[in-house]
């Protein structure tokens, strides 16, 4: 497997792991967003742009969820 294949594998593995653990800490949502971003980069580099676009949107949604939950943790009022 080449380096690009490893990037995709690691990104998806991190996505699955962080998604499973996101109820334990708000930081796992950030890890999920980063992993989605890596998955999008990997997809674009593989030439699978539709999956890259969807994964990039998913990363944006996860980042927004992280920011909203982070704000709720530090500003409960």
- The 10s digit of each residue's pLDDT in 16-72 is 999 999 999 999 999 999 999 999 999 999 999 999 999 999 999 999 999 999 887
The per-residue pLDDT for 59 is 98
Count of beta carbons in the 10 Å neighbourhood of residue 13:
11
CA-to-CA dists, residue 4 to 43, 46, 60, angstroms: 9, 8, 22
Domains of the chain by residue range: 3-74
Please, which pLDDT band fits residue 77 given cuts at 50, 70 and 90? low
**pTM, to two decimals:** 0.90
């Amino acid at each position: 497997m080449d380096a690009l294949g490893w990037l995709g594998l690691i990104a998806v593995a991190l996505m699955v792991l962080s998604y499973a653990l996101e109820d334990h800490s708000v930081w796992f949502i950030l890890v999920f967003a980063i992993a989605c971003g890596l998955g999008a980069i990997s997809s674009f580099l593989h030439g699978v742009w539709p999956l890259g676009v969807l994964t990039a949107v998913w990363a944006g949604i996860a980042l927004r969820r992280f920011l909203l939950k982070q704000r709720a943790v530090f500003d409960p009022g």
